[in-house]
Homo-oligomer: A and B are copies of this chain.
Amino acid sequence: MSLPKAPIERIIRQAGADRVSEDAVEELRKAVEDAGQDIAQEAIRMADHAERNTVKKEDVEMATQ
C-alpha cells in the first residue's frame, strides 16, 4: 500500500506549481515515502531509548527535531 498520488499532487500544486509532469509527482511520492521511513526509524529508536514498545507522538516529534 503506497501513498496515493492525488494528495501528493495536491501538495506540489499548493506549493505553487503551475504544471507538473506525471513522473515529477511519482518522484515526489517516492521522496515523501523515503522521508517517512527515515522519520519512522528514528521514532522507533526514540521509543527504544525510552524502553517502550509503543511508538508515541513524542517519539515522532523528537525524530523530527
Contact = CB atoms under 8 A, between A and B. Distances in A.
A2 to B, nearest CB: 6
Contact of A17 (B1, B44, B61): B44
Contact of A24 (B6, B16, B53, B60): B60
A28 B38 CA distance: 11
B18 A43 contact: no
A17 B23 CA distance: 31
A40 B11 contact: yes
B27 A61 contact: yes
B53 A21 contact: no
A18 B57 contact: no
A3 B54 CA distance: 23
